[in-house]
Amino acid sequence: MDAVYPMGRENILMVPGPTNVPERVLKAMVRPLISHRGPEFRELYGRLLENLKKVFQTGGDVYPLTASGTGGVECALGNLVSPGEPVITVHFGLFGERMREAVVRLGGRPVEVASEWGEAPSLEQVKEALDLNPEARLITIVYNETSTGVAWRMLPELGRLARSRDKILVVDAVSALAGEPLPVDQWNIDVCVAGSQKCLACPPGLSLISVNERAYQALRENKHRLFYFDLEAHRRFAERKETPFTPAVPLFYALDEALQLLFEEGLENRIKRHAACAQAFYEAFDRVGLETISKGSLRSNTLIAVWNPPRVDGDEMRRMAKEGFGVVIGGGAGKLKGKSFRIGSMGMVSLREVSLTLRAVFESLKKLNFSFKEKPERVLEEVEGKLEEALRKLPKLRLS
């Protein structure tokens, strides 16, 4: 797949988000504005509601919210967390800790199931927390932790555990939807949150949230749920294909086009493309002697987090990559700030983006006197060949 971006783009975004957006998705936003209480909007919104269900693989409701991914997470928790109640919070990075903080601010009492950053808690730890706190109704977790590049791939087992204990499972999948497998209903996920600006290759500003009947029953019992983010209100208005409040109509246009692009590629193909590009990064970094933060089966398909090499200034490397190659790479987040760099391998990532990013990193490290385990030129050539072969089996897309 050859990515096509608008003319005049100076930099390629390889950060944890936002991602590069295809020209046809950007062009969709310049369509004339319409009334969000009129028939044109109802047609658009109705189509979005149905198409989002296909992406989340759910028979429940999915709403696009005018908010960032963090807003979607706050929506989920603000509908379900009641003051004083215990909440099982599974966390192993910055964004899981943010979920925990949101529980605290909503008056909940977090029961923490945590691990070191770069690792992940076990399912047994979650079971122990449930055994010790049977009154807890909610379990929260981040599927794909973009601070560390850890994907917690025990969600199917966690979903079965939550359902067997009659708990509500809330999943932050902001950087996972369409980049990692995520069959919401099959995995017994009650509330799932995603973001527009990650694997969907849409501009930032929309959060997507799926809700099933079990979650609706639970949130109705919460008399303290949020006003703007009240999911019961979204459900009522959705019956007539409207939103409770004024939405970001241009972003809805963009999401509509981005979903069409996704269906042209195929959801399974998009996940395979993300996995192939991530594997190229991991192989290249392993072979030259760069250490990724996540290891083995925990390695994310969409976010590659790498420790800064000893005696190498990571911020200087990123500056050189941007100024010399037009490749924007993310820095470390939270307590890993200044210690690592992060590559967002998501959205319209292809051979071109992977190759340019690896070249930018390797050439910048050369100038900073990094000692490579293998010759970077040979590694790059072999990794590019493997990735090209893997992507050749997937459909080419019309991005402009």
Higher pLDDT, 397 or 283: 283
271 and 345 fall within a common domain: yes
Q: Is the peptide bond before 16 cis (omega within 30 degrees of 0)?
A: no
Residue 211 bridge partners (DSSP)? 61, 191
Residues 294 and 381 in one domain: yes
List the structure tokens of 138.
């909610």
Number of compact structural domains in the chain? 2
Assess if residue 6 is contained within a domain. Answer: no
User: In terms of domains, do 253 and 276 share one?
Assistant: no
Q: Which residue type sits at 14? A: M
Are 194 and 72 spatial neighbours (Cβ–Cβ below 8 Å)?
yes
Supply the pLDDT for residue 5. 46
398 within some domain = no
pLDDT at 396: 87
Q: What is the CATH number of the domain that holds 375?
A: 3.90.1150.10
> What number is the average pLDDT over the span 84-107?
98
Do both 237 and 281 map to the same domain? no
Last residue of a domain, one of 246, 264, 282: 264
- Which of 205, 230, 264 lies at the terminal end of a domain, its last residue? 264
Residues 190 and 306 in one domain: no
Does one domain contain both 257 and 109? yes
Residue 4 lies in a domain: no
The distance of Cα 13 from the centroid of its chain, to the nearest Å, equals 15
pLDDT per residue as tens digits for the range 188-209: 999 999 999 999 999 999 999 9
Q: How does residue 397 score in pLDDT terms, banded at 50, 70 and 90? A: confident
Task: Let me know whether 155 and 276 are in one domain.
Answer: no
In a domain, 3, yes or no: no
The Cβ of residue 92 has, within 10 Å, a number of other Cβ atoms equal to 25
Which domain does 103 fall in, by range?
23-264
The C-alpha angle 264, 43, 64, rounded to 5 degrees, equals: 70
208-254 tens-digit pLDDT: 999 999 999 999 999 999 999 999 999 999 999 999 999 999 999 99
Q: At what angle do helices 376-392 and 351-367 cross, to 10 degrees?
A: 170
Closest CA to 400 of 131, 35, 20, 95: 20
Question: Is residue 5 one of the residues assigned to a domain?
Answer: no
Mean pLDDT over 273-302 rounds to 98
Question: For residues 246 and 237, what is the distance between their CA atoms, to the nearest angstrom?
Answer: 12
- Residue whose C-alpha is closest to residue 322's, from 3, 5, 13: 13
* Tens digits of residue pLDDT in 114-128: 999 999 999 999 999
pLDDT, tens digit, 9 for 90 and up, residues 371-394: 999 999 999 999 999 999 999 999
For residues 246-270, average pLDDT:
98
Nearest CA-CA partner of 60 in 219, 257, 259: 219
Residue 107 maps to which CATH number? 3.40.640.10
SS (H, E, C) the chain: CCCCCCCCCCCEEECCCCCCCCHHHHHHCCCCCCCCCCHHHHHHHHHHHHHHHHHHCCCCEEEEEECCHHHHHHHHHHHHCCCCCEEEEEECCHHHHHHHHHHHHCCCEEEEEECCECECCCHHHHHHHHHHCCCCCEEEEECEECCCCEECCCHHHHHHHHHHCCCEEEEECCCCECCECCCCCCCCCCEEEEECCCCCCCCCCEEEEEECHHHHHHHHCCCCCCCCCCHHHHHHHHCCCCCCCCCCHHHHHHHHHHHHHHHHHCHHHHHHHHHHHHHHHHHHHHHHCCCECCCHHHECCCEEEEECCCCCCHHHHHHHHHHHHCEEEEECCHHHCCCEEEEECCCCCCHHHHHHHHHHHHHHHHHCCCCCCCCHHHHHHHHHHHHHHHHHCCCCCCCC
* Predicted confidence (pLDDT) per residue in 128-149, tens digit: 999 999 999 999 999 999 999 9
Give the separation between CA 163 and CA 188, rounded to whole angstroms: 7
Give the pLDDT score at 9. Answer: 52
* Stretch 295-319: mean pLDDT: 97
pLDDT average, residue stretch 310-321: 97
* Among 206, 239, 264, residue at a domain's last position: 264
Check if the beta carbon of residue 354 is closer than 8 Å to that of residue 254: no
Residues 211 and 327 in one domain: no
Judged against a pLDDT cut of 60, whether residue 2 lies above it is answered with: no
C-alpha–C-alpha distance, residues 228 and 5, integer Å: 35
Residue 46 lies in a domain: yes
Instruction: Give residue 8's pLDDT band: very low, low, confident or very high (50, 70, 90).
Output: very low
Kindly tell me if the per-residue pLDDT of 290 is higher than 90: yes
Q: Is position 32 within any domain? A: yes
Q: Which pLDDT does position 359 carry in this prediction? A: 98
pLDDT of residue 4: 43
Q: What does the pLDDT read at residue 317? A: 98
Q: How far is CA 63 from CA 116, 213, 264, 355, in A?
A: 34, 14, 22, 36
pLDDT confidence bin for 10, thresholds 50/70/90: confident
Q: What average pLDDT does this structure show over 13-31?
A: 97
Q: What rounded mean pLDDT belongs to the chain?
A: 96
206, 348: one domain: no
